Amino acid sequence: MTVPLLDLKVQNGALDSELKAAFERVLYSGHYILGAEVEGLERELSAVTGTRHVIGVSSGTDAILLALMALEVGPGDEVICPSFTFFATAGCIARTGAKPVFVDSERDGFGMDLEDAARRITSRTKAILPVHLFGEMEQMEAVLALAKEHGLSVVEDAAQALGAARDGRKAGSWGDFGAYSFFPSKNLGCLGDGGALATNDDRLAERARILRVHGMAPKYYHKFIGGNFRIDPLQAAFLRVKLGHYDEYTRGRQAHAAFYRDRLGSVPGVRVGGGEILLPSAGEGSFHIWNQFTMRVRSEGGSSSRRDALRDFLVERQIGCEIYYPKALHTQECFAYLGQVEGSLPRAEALARECISIPVFPELTPSQREEVVGAVEAFLR
Ligand SMILES: *Cc1c(COP(=O)(O)O)cnc(C)c1O
């Protein structure tokens, strides 16, 4: 049986008539830039993010960039971020002219080692950019305490974490800004690119709204140098349809994650706390939304050989899997100029050698999940 890593046709096909109605609503409105559809989405997202303001933007990447621009991060500034994350986190920092300063990963889990972060703060550090990777929140109390101590702005990369929470407080609502992505593989995906930026700060919200349209206020008078960071009303309309099903999607992902932890956790060699394969877990007080179910596969000598063997084994059996992410950012060619050499962030580098993600999308069927568990069992036998 084939098990895809993600099947968007099933999710969107089930919404056939609702999505077509949304398309027609936009088509016949004659209004294709910002306006009521985008405002409607922003209002509805506000309830999900628990923030006063939400600004619909063109992508998760642009949400991060816009946040940094609104905070006036630029040349001469340093911004702290994890090395084990998707490229956009650090790419946006570099695009403002600031310097990304990469931090190692925590001992367990996928977040930042905040002691390492503290050691890397200098007089030039302007902001810290935690990432809620794979749908689980970073330890935000500690991030905020560190930021407060050093007077840093906080931008949360919540691209994978819309609706995730920690002690009841939502991802993206803790920092100065929270950035979300609606790339199709995210938990709330549109039919193309899209994103959003959240904030509780009225002044920052105003600034971000102006920067979204070339820094223009009023029309043709440019206060700042902004860009075109607008989300399309068509994508906003699709997202509003899918937002109505979002809780159900989250429950599906959580049920699959619980199933894997239960079933895989009883396979010899697989454990939550260790073993050859290490299963992910949700921390205390954490509402994990499982954008990915990411395991760690240990090899003797610390290479990627066992993980790569599991990947080949799953691919052979037509079971979708992916390596998020195979190369820590501080070792990427484009960031060589920063001088954070290979070997300097050992935990982030180990994650890049050990991680593998298996299917956890909401529409996964019971027999498909059995197939995945059976394949991992067979691999270890
Ligand atoms: C997807 C993602 C982004 C970028 O979002 P896009 O909408 O693809 O631009 C940024 N950071 C993380 C952690 C992501 O997963």
Q: Tens digit of pLDDT for each residue in 5-52? A: 999 999 999 999 999 999 999 999 999 999 999 999 999 999 999 999
- Predicted pLDDT of residue 301: 84
d(CA 334, CA 352): 17
SS3 41: helix
Yes or no: say if 131 and 82 are a contact pair by the CB < 8 Å rule.
Answer: yes
Q: Is residue 249 lining ligand 1, measured as CB closer than 6 Å?
A: no
List pLDDT tens digits, range 161-199.
999 999 999 999 999 999 999 999 999 999 999 999 999
pLDDT band at 203 (very low <50, low <70, confident <90, very high): very high
Q: Is residue 320 lining ligand 1, measured as CB closer than 6 Å?
A: no
Name the residue of 68, 83, 86, 232 to mutate for ligand 1: max ligand atoms within 8 A of Cβ.
Answer: 86
Long-range Cβ contact pairs of 280-285 (< 8 A, separation 24 or more) = 280/110, 280/134, 280/136, 282/136, 282/257, 283/109, 283/136, 283/166, 285/166, 285/167
Q: How many whole angstroms from 342 Cα to the centroid of ligand 1?
A: 24
Give, in order, the Cα–Cα distances in Å from 290 to each of 282, 365, 376.
9, 16, 19
- Predicted pLDDT of residue 275: 65
pLDDT band at 86 (very low <50, low <70, confident <90, very high): very high
Closest CA to ligand 1's atom 6:
60
Q: Is residue 159 lining ligand 1, measured as CB closer than 6 Å?
A: yes
Give first-to-last CA distance, the chain, whole Å: 20
Per DSSP, what are the bridge partners of residue 252?
none
pLDDT band at 272 (very low <50, low <70, confident <90, very high): low
- 152: nearest Cα among 194, 181, 115, 123: 123
Cis peptide before 325 (omega within 30 of 0): yes
d(CA 202, CA 52): 8
Q: How many whole angstroms from 135 Cα to the centroid of ligand 1?
A: 12
Q: Is residue 181 lining ligand 1, measured as CB closer than 6 Å?
A: yes
d(CA 25, CA 20): 9
In what helix (H) or strand (E) does residue 79 lie, and over which residues does it extend? strand 78-82
List pLDDT tens digits, range 325-354.
999 999 999 999 999 999 999 999 999 999
Give, in order, the Cα–Cα distances in Å from 175 to each of 59, 128, 145, 199.
19, 9, 11, 8
Q: Is residue 88 lining ligand 1, measured as CB closer than 6 Å?
A: yes
Q: Is residue 59 lining ligand 1, measured as CB closer than 6 Å?
A: yes
Q: Is residue 86 lining ligand 1, measured as CB closer than 6 Å?
A: yes
d(CA 203, CA 134): 31
pLDDT band at 273 (very low <50, low <70, confident <90, very high): low
- 51: nearest Cα among 176, 149, 142, 235: 176
pLDDT band at 302 (very low <50, low <70, confident <90, very high): confident
Q: Is residue 174 lining ligand 1, measured as CB closer than 6 Å?
A: no
Q: Is residue 104 lining ligand 1, measured as CB closer than 6 Å?
A: no
d(CA 56, CA 246): 18
Do β-strands 153-157 and 99-103 pair in parallel, antiparallel, or remain unpaired? Answer: unpaired
Yes or no: say if 210 and 66 are a contact pair by the CB < 8 Å rule.
Answer: no
Yes or no: say if 164 and 188 are a contact pair by the CB < 8 Å rule.
Answer: no
Yes or no: say if 314 and 321 are a contact pair by the CB < 8 Å rule.
Answer: yes
Q: Is residue 289 lining ligand 1, measured as CB closer than 6 Å?
A: no
Name the residue of 57, 58, 59, 61 to mutate for ligand 1: max ligand atoms within 8 A of Cβ.
Answer: 61
Contacts of 22 (CB under 8 A, 6+ apart): 237, 238, 240, 241
Q: How many whole angstroms from 180 Cα to the centroid of ligand 1?
A: 8
Residue 135: how many other CB atoms lie within 10 Å:
30
d(CA 258, CA 359): 13
Yes or no: say if 344 and 83 are a contact pair by the CB < 8 Å rule.
Answer: no
Q: How many whole angstroms from 37 Cα to the centroid of ligand 1?
A: 23
Q: How many whole angstroms from 159 Cα to the centroid of ligand 1?
A: 5
pLDDT band at 289 (very low <50, low <70, confident <90, very high): very high
d(CA 204, CA 375): 49
Q: What is the mean pLDDT of residues 64-84?
A: 98
Q: Is residue 157 lining ligand 1, measured as CB closer than 6 Å?
A: yes
Yes or no: say if 65 and 153 are a contact pair by the CB < 8 Å rule.
Answer: no
Could you tell me where the DSSP H helices lie in the chain? Answer: 8-13, 16-29, 36-49, 60-70, 87-95, 114-119, 140-150, 202-212, 233-243, 246-265, 305-316, 346-354, 366-380
